Structure 1
Amino acid sequence: MQNRIIEDAPNTPGQKELNPLLKFALELGPLLVFFFANNRGEAIAAAFPALGALGGPLFVATALFMAATIIALTVSWILTRSLPVMPIVSGIVVVVFGTLTLWLQDEVFIKMKPTIVNGLFAAVLLGGLAFGKPLLGYVFGQAFKLDNAGWNKLTLRWGLFFIVLALLNEVVWRLFSTDFWVAFKVWGTMPITIIFMLLQIPLLKRHALEPLFESKD
């Protein structure tokens, strides 16, 4: 069977699946690297002068964030021989805006990255929905199986949620300090997203084609 660069469509038979915890770790790992590097930027720069030459803590964190993102995508490719749609889009934006941040020595580019990514995801999901394509199935198709109505409703909710995340990022980076923005990016955005996901469980149960939580008797 020929390998695909991008993950298969939802419900495609025979597609390789990552362990959910490993998938979560690969997606969260780069953010944790970013947070740690920003808080320990001076110590990292002292230990590795080449990184210190990039600039202050945020610039060191940006470089390590880019590296961690590329490593996470590489591991995902090695394990599944495909790349998840949303992380690869986010990864491309990280590399582009991270490069601009380091090259121009301007923090604005990396701070705008979440706005651009979330706005892009919202546009793709809501745009696909307008043409009758619930594209969210590409993201969660490995985790659970829903009927068409379920995918449509879930896609709409996530599209609107990404708009909220984009607006939140704009408010935080424009009105608060860089350290607060970095902390919110890791410890604010992730809990908000987890809470939102938990609130979708009733919808998932109503539209599931198979039990979400099977007993292990």
Structure 2
Amino acid sequence: MDKTKPWIKPVLEFGPLILFFAVFMLFRGQEVIVWGEAYSGFIFATLVFIPALLVSTLIQWWLSNKLAPMQVATLVLVIVFGGMSVWLNDPRFFKLKPTIIYVLFAAILGASLVLRRNWLGAVLGEALPLDLEGWRKLTLRMALFFLALAVANEVIWRNLSDTTWVYFKTFGLPVLLFLFLLGNAGLYRAHALPEKAAEDDTA
């Protein structure tokens, strides 16, 4: 992946989501007949999204020879819950998927705090060198952030329209993540480590 052109990674990461959004907007409010079954625009977009994400993930694995645990977990949950939505022709399963992902991530981060393990630093240490106290604070904040995202997803999909949820999923979540990372800039500065010290700290 490091030797490929810089635009390839964001295309592979965000391409399937943008495709989902485009297909939903194109077929919103319509019925699409696939294999003799009538699907809503939302279910049809989900049907397109699943293989797109699978292909994208396989290409990323082929280019870099590795996948992050988050990518693997996301792919598995998309296949399982997206597949259930298509199989049962019920959008609720796919809408529930982000809640499960965020609760899972929050639980993993919470476990790392209880066990006093720097799992977040092991994953992000090369890109973001922090001391152990910095990782502890960031882990706690990120766990709470993921819990908040899970609650937000539940509130939106249970009370608002499909279109609102799709906008939230496609644009709202990335914006919230960006704002979270930006909002922790002070923590990054206060607990920054020199590159060599960071390598020793996460080893």
TM-score computed with the length of structure 1 as normaliser? 0.79
5+ residue gaps in structure 2? 196-203
- Could you tell me how far 1:187 is from its partner in structure 2? 1.6
Residue 19 of structure 2 corresponds to which residue in structure 1?
33
Distance 1:18 1:131 in 2: 38
> Which of 72, 88, 103 is equivalent to 1:104?
88
* C-alpha spacing 1:59/1:68, structure 2 compared with 1 (3 Å): same
Q: Alignment partner for residue 178 of structure 1, among 153, 162, 168? A: 162
Cα shift at 1:26: 3.0
Equivalent AA in structure 2 for residue 37 of structure 1: V
Contact (CA 8 Å) 1:93, 1:113: kept in 2 or not? yes
The answer for the alignment partner of 2:49 in structure 1 is 65
Deviation at 1:136, TM superposition (A): 1.8
Instruction: Report the more deviating stretch, 32-41 or 20-29.
Output: 20-29
CA RMSD of aligned residues (A): 2.7
Matched, 1:135 2:97: no
Q: Matches of 1:19 and 1:129 in 2, distance apart?
A: 37
Cα shift at 1:182: 0.6
SS of equivalent to 1:136: helix
Distance 1:155 1:51, change over 3 A: farther
Decide whether aligned partners of structure 1 residues 203 and 19 sit closer, same or farther in structure 2, where only a CA change above 3 A counts: farther
For the 8 Å contact 1:85–1:138, the answer to whether it is kept is no
* Residue type of the alignment partner of 1:111: K
Change (3 A) 1:19 1:134: farther
Distance across 2 between alignment mates of 1:172 and 1:205 = 35
Deviation at 1:23, TM superposition (A): 4.0
Show the 5 A alignment for 1:1-217: 22-41=8-27, 50=34, 53=37, 55-210=39-194
Secondary structure in 2 matching 1:179:
helix
Deviation at 1:146, TM superposition (A): 1.9
* Unaligned residue ranges in structure 1 (runs of 5+): 1-15, 212-217
How many Å apart are 1:22 and its aligned residue? Answer: 4.5
- Conservation of the 8 A alpha-carbon contact between 1:125 and 1:134: no
Whether the aligned pair in 2 keeps the contact of 1:116 and 1:166 (CA below 8 Å) is: yes
Number of equivalent positions: 195
Percent sequence identity over aligned pairs: 38
> Given residue 134 of structure 1, which amino acid in structure 2 is its aligned partner?
N
Distance in 2 separating the partners of 1:63 and 1:118? 22
Look up the SS of the partner of 2:129 in the other structure: coil
Partner SS, residue 55 of structure 1: strand
1:75 CA drift (Å): 1.8
Instruction: Quote how far apart the aligned CAs of 1:173 are.
Output: 0.4
1:69 and 1:121, CA in 2 relative to 1: closer, same or farther beyond 3 A? Answer: same
SS of the residue corresponding to residue 84 of structure 2 reads helix
Change over 3 Å in CA distance of 1:138–1:53 after alignment to 2:
farther
Q: Per residue, is there more helix in 1 or in 2?
A: 2
- What displacement does 1:144 show? 2.2
Structure 1 residue 189 displacement after superposition = 1.4
Per-residue CA shift, 1:102-161, capped at 9, x if unaligned? 111111100101111111111111112210113223442342222222221111111110
Please report how far the alpha carbon of residue 66 of structure 1 lies from its aligned counterpart in structure 2 after TM superposition.
1.1
After TM superposition, give the deviation of residue 184 of structure 1 in Å.
Answer: 1.1
